[in-house]
Structure 1
Amino acid sequence: MTFTNGTIPFSDAWSGYLAHAQAQIGPVNTRLLLLLLVNVPILAILLNVVRQVLLPSKPNEPPVVFHWFPFVGSAVGYGNDPLNFFFKCREKYGDVFTFILFGRRVTVTLGSKGNNFVLGGKSLVFNAEDAYTHLTTPVFGKDVVYDVPNDVFMEQKKFVKVGLSTDNLRAYVGMIEEEVEEYFKSDAAFSVLQSNDINEWGQFDVLTALQGITILTASRTLQGQEVRAGMDKTFAELYNDLDGGFTPLNFLFPSLPLDSYRRRDVAQKKMSDFYVNIIRQRKNGTTTDHEHDMIAALMQQSYRDGRTLKDHEIAHIMIALLMAGQHTSSATGSWALLHIAERPDIGEALYQEQVKYFANPDGSLRSMTYEEIRQLPLMDSVIRETLRMHPPIHSIMRYVRDDMPIPATLAAPGKDTTYVVPKGHYVLASPVVSQMDPRIWKEADKWEPSRWSDPTGVAAQASMTYDDAQGEKIDYGFGAVSKGTESPYQPFGAGKHRCIGEQFAYLQLGTIIATILRHMEIKIEKVPEHNYHTMITLPKTPRAISYRRRKFD
């Protein structure tokens, strides 16, 4: 197999290097160099194994997952299938263990108590900024999210929450519905919807479609009319280049001299300027009629010290909302449609739910309202069950700023053992483990929305501690929210970093799915596997859904 380094075949380059080396240092030394190149890595692996097998581990630190390769550690097993990796480690080491991830020492605490330990921990000790700023700041921009102290970030979340008012959400339903229908008309993959033959079937790649729909609906609603009007080829190229800087590679190695990193930085500057120009035009009175979007809300906010947001801060918050929201909603929407397509009974029940609530006398379906979308029980169950099995983020990390003891009840239940996570380590919570734990959920690996309609089941109890008034509510600076850190169901995170866009996400997903299903029937033979090689957990290819136009469309 021949690889390339971008200019010449790698095999040719290697041969040329050896020839040059042999000419410079002679054949004997060349053989010695080759022996070193081959044997040094082998020796390093052997020493790493011997160290783990023969040397005693520190009794006050969690057990370290066995790994063959120094520095790389368990990166391959974790990166390919983190859920399987966590469950296997739990069988061997318990709910608390440490693994090596490209030189980082990551201590994992599993289960509801483990989630609470990490997500309910003090931000001065378990710090999110130190864990993520090298990934998010180059994409979102300076002075927002993890590029500011935690108390400032909490104020920024409060500003965003103001923009997610009930009045704004009410205004968004019709906009989302219109954007979905316009997408059907403009995208060739949905040409069958224009056919007179209701028995004709077509296909569409569900992730491609949902990525397009979610970014258009978000830009029409939260982002504002100027952003929606600017959704041309140039904007799409900027978005793709910026998105190229939001990958596991960028998280692990933030400063590589690669072209994708350069394109990311150029795109961030251009997109920031794009938003700043919109803000300045609004301040000058050049544009009007933007009452319900997020830019308008942010322009009216002030920090506790009286300072208003600077133009670039508003711009960078808008970029963060666009990037984070598009990824999570398009992934969740894709998984939901894939499961619905595999379960025709659920798809038909969802359609009949709309007929029940929205039918006109002629058999057509009228437009929905915000309150009505929230009152569709099966739709709510479908979204919740999809988020249970496919939360967008499988791992949540914090950087440890000071030594932190792990309670014995978590580290070694029933034993008088207290581990300490040393300063400089990372801690990791994985809510998906508790959401897929067969010890908690009946048929945990089965997509079954009906579990959410059982008032006495695990799902109802989990929802109660995560969402409802019976859960502990705390105000972290952006309004009281259910703490939810001990719930086995945490699709939007928990604690002070819990996502404040939950209501918009449910509204956006519910409206998109409802609009799609009122226009078409969908089917697929099998739901694809997870692709864990991206920052957000996506379905692998092939992920084409077959569809046909509904009879009454």
Structure 2
Amino acid sequence: MSFGLFVLFILLLFVIYLVRHNGWLGSKAGHPYPPICKGLPLIGSALEFGKNPLKFLQACRQRYGDVFTVLLPGRRMTFIFAPAQELRQSFFNGSPSLISFTAGVEPFTCRIFGMSKKDFSLAHRSLLTALRSELGAKHIPQLAQKLINQYLLSFRTVWGKESEGDAYHLLTKTLSDASLRVIFGDEFANASPSLFKDFVDFDDWFELAATPMLPHFLLRPFVTSRKRLLETISQNWKYAKNAPIYKLTEAYGNDGNVPSLLLTALWATWSNASSASFWTLIHILADEKVKVKVLAEVEQTCPLLLSSKTELSVEWIFSHLPFTAYCVSETLRLCASVVDIRKVLEPMQFREFTIRKGDYLCISPAASHRETTVFPKSEDFVPDRFQKLGTHPNALFDKDLFTFGGGFYKCPGQLFAMVEIVLLTALVFYLYDVQLVDPIPKMKESQAVGIKRPSCSCRIYYLWKRRLAGMEVI
């Protein structure tokens, strides 16, 4: 073969590679591959996506349509946009032979929590099953009463009678103390005094640490905090024997991986609820009409809420604090995760496109929640939109809202999360006069996963306004 023919042969192979890699031809079934947002050589669209993922995806959708593929280092992410019912059918309830939640999140979670893929796959199913049972509706009355008791304790020890403080810190400390004692038990909490500080450090680095191609040796604060958390949990998890979380260890039955498994549960318990509680409080304070409605509701309900004679069932809480619950739902609409992910196991068709095996199939809850045809004034905080629909606050997440996911892998703590945020919001407004000191901060634009955090601190001023049995001196 002459040198010229050899060069021509190499060029032909290169062209074939480009055609197959970039989807210029359709699939073997005759359906085209989605259009590709290629970005830069080697890194793809990593810079644009990392800077502001929601803005980037909205721009891609405007340019390419409802189905497109984004190239990132080492992965292809195909995003689909559609009405809620279609997404639930194709994404959340898609055939397990075609798409997999576990395979989709393994590369991220295994790096974060230090478990092998095999162990994570087994543990994740145990985690879901155990938490659905222990945090389900039948246990809510007991859990809700414990939450209230812990909130009242935090008002004494963390908030005090009158002060000015960072709202995110106050709510994070209050929620984390309460949920740790409710789910992990008092003995475990008492034996783990450094847990909160180490977790804050761990969570601050969470998203960077989950990045597949970023070596952890560059993230020393994350590595150090994770090591401390796993050591603390390893030393103390048996103190949780009488707590709901212990059922999880019984279901899993592998002591060697219990610390990593419980760290997963701890992250799920703490990370998103704090941000959701913060934004709920801040949005209510920023809208006087909404605040007046919340105050009227809590004035009527909280005396009953604090009565030992009231059984705090799910229906009682949502029927007596419906507007407060709608405020939480609206917050979870506005601040939802930018990306939810599955792994494509076999070539699959979505509308007129074929999505390749090995792609990550993605939806964007944050973008879907901004569909103006479904949510008019979609960038505004309008809890009345749900009240007018008359839909149960918790049922909204089975319809148009994707904050808690869907299908088998829907968040098992959805009900508990709603209850803990509703109760905390109600008690703060019932027991304190609260005012904003700083302007409402923007959400952290670079965050792609989880409830959005604030981009900066936001102070509130608060003053105790009640005479409450056992809390006269605060």
| C-alpha separation in 2, matches of 1:262 and 1:531 | 23
Q: Does 1:541 align with 2:448?
A: no
How far apart, CA to CA, are the structure 2 residues paired with 1:139 and 1:95?
31
User: For residues 245 and 368 of structure 2, what CA distance do their matches in structure 1 show?
Assistant: 37
Pairwise mapping of residues 151-190 of structure 1 onto structure 2 (< 5 A)? 153-187=124-158, 190=159
Within the alignment, does 1:253 sit opposite 2:187 as a pair? no
Distance 1:394 1:365 in 2: 37
Distance 2:25 2:67 in 1: 14
Distance in 2 (CA, whole Å) between partners of 1:252 and 1:396 is: 16
* Bigger Cα displacement from structure 2, 441-450 vs 77-86: 77-86
**SS of equivalent to 2:289:** helix
Deviations for 1:36-92, whole angstroms, at most 9, x for unmatched residues?
A: xxxxxxxxxxxxxxx99xx9833421111252x222222233223222222222211
Distance in 2, matches of 1:551 and 1:236, equals 29
Where in structure 2 are the equivalents of 1:255-404 lying within 5 Å? 255-258=215-218, 259-260=220-221, 262-264=223-225, 266-278=227-239, 282=241, 290=242, 293-298=243-248, 309-312=253-256, 314-359=258-303, 366=307, 369-371=311-313, 372-375=316-319, 376-391=321-336, 393-404=337-348
CA distance in 2, matches of 1:160, 1:441: 32
Alignment of 1:454-533 (within 5 A): 454-455=388-389, 460=391, 484=398, 487-524=399-436, 526-533=439-446
Q: CA–CA distance in 1 between the matches of 2:45 and 2:111?
A: 27
State the distance in 2 between where 1:168 and 1:248 align: 36
2-side partners of 1:401 and 1:84: how far apart?
29
Q: CA deviation at 1:235?
A: 2.5
Counterpart position of 1:450: 384
CA contact (8 A) 2:23 2:33 kept: no
Q: Which residue of 2 is the match for residue 435 of structure 1?
A: 369
With normalisation by structure 1, the TM-score equals 0.71
User: Partners of 2:118 and 2:454 in 1: how far apart?
Assistant: 28
- The CA deviation at 1:261 is 5.1
What code does the residue aligned with 2:37 have? V
Give, as a single letter, the amino acid of the residue that structure 1 aligns with 2:404.
F
Higher Cα Rg, which structure: 1
Counterpart residue type for residue 297 of structure 1: K
CA distance in 2, matches of 1:436, 1:158: 32
- Counting aligned pairs with the same residue, the percent is 19
Q: Is the 8 A contact 1:463 1:489 kept in 2?
A: no
- In structure 2, the CA distance between the partners of 1:498 and 1:96, relative to structure 1 (3 Å rule), is same
One-letter amino acid of the counterpart of residue 56, structure 2: F
2:35 pairs with one of 35, 49, 63 = 63
Local SS of the residue matching 1:105:
strand
Spell out, residue by residue over 1:100-154, the C-alpha distance to the aligned partner (whole angstroms, 9 max, x if none). Answer: 22242111001333454222223343223333223323544537997125xx643
Shift of 1:278: 2.6
Q: Secondary structure at the match of 2:24?
A: coil
Q: Return the alpha-carbon distance in structure 2 between the equivalents of residues 423 and 94 of structure 1.
A: 21
> Are residues 180 and 462 of structure 1, via their aligned partners in 2, closer, same or farther at CA, if it must alter by over 3 Å?
closer
Corresponding position: 1:75 with 2:17: no
The answer to whether the 8 Å contact 1:63/1:93 transfers is yes
Contact 1:98 1:108 in 2 (8 A): yes
Q: 1:340 to 1:174 in 2, by over 3 A?
A: same
Which AA in structure 2 matches 1:211? T
Give the superposition deviation at 1:164.
Answer: 1.9
Conserved 8 A contact 1:353-1:378: yes
Matched, 1:96 2:30: no
Amino acid at match of 2:355: V
Helix, strand or coil: the match of 1:227? helix
* Structure 1 letter corresponding to 2:357: K
Contact 2:184–2:246 (Cα < 8 Å) also in 1: no
Contact 1:135 1:254 in 2 (8 A): no
**Which SS does the other structure have where 2:211 is aligned?**
helix
Q: Is the 8 A contact 1:522 1:548 kept in 2?
A: yes
- Partners of 2:311 and 2:53 in 1: CA distance: 39
Deviation at 1:298, TM superposition (A): 3.5
Distance 2:296 2:459 in 1: 24
In structure 2, distance between residues paired with 1:341 and 1:462: 21
Superposition deviation, residue 551 in structure 1: 6.4
| Residues 463 and 257 (structure 1), Cα distance of their counterparts in 2 relative to 1, 3 Å cut | closer
User: 1:237, CA displacement in angstroms?
Assistant: 4.3
Structure-2 separation of matches of 1:216 and 1:462:
26
TM-score (norm 2): 0.82
C-alpha distance in 1 between matches for 2:413 and 2:229: 23
Secondary structure at the aligned position of 1:217 is classed as helix
Residues 91 and 134 from structure 1, CA distance in 2 versus in 1: closer, same or farther, beyond 3 angstroms? closer
Per-residue Cα deviation, 1:334-388 (whole angstroms, up to 9, x for no partner) = 110110110133223222212223448xxx9656652332221111111111111
Q: Residues 84 and 351 from structure 1, CA distance in 2 versus in 1: closer, same or farther, beyond 3 angstroms?
A: same
Q: Which runs of 5+ in 2 are unaligned?
A: 1-17, 27-31, 469-474
The AA in structure 1 aligned to 2:107 is: H
Cross-structure match for 1:121: 94
Letter in 2 for 1:424: G
SS of the aligned residue for 1:499 comes to coil
Measure the CA separation in 1 of the matches of 2:374 and 2:238.
51
Offset, 1:172 = 2.2
Distance apart, 1:231 and its partner CA: 4.0
Structure 2 residue aligned with 1:215: 176
Kindly report the root-mean-square deviation, in angstroms, between the aligned alpha carbons of the 2 structures.
3.1
Structure 2 counterpart of 1:405, from 349, 365, 384: 349
Separation in structure 2 between the aligned mates of residue 538 and residue 532 of structure 1, nearest angstrom: 9
Distance in 2 (CA, whole Å) between partners of 1:131 and 1:157 is 16
Distance verdict in 2 for CA 1:445–1:165, change over 3 Å: closer
Q: Which consecutive unaligned segments of at least 5 residues does structure 1 have?
A: 1-50, 195-201, 283-289, 303-307, 409-418, 468-483
Distance 2:393 2:301 in 1: 28
Distance 1:159 1:103, change over 3 A: closer
Aligned CA distance change for structure 1 residues 512 and 369 (closer, same or farther; 3 Å): farther
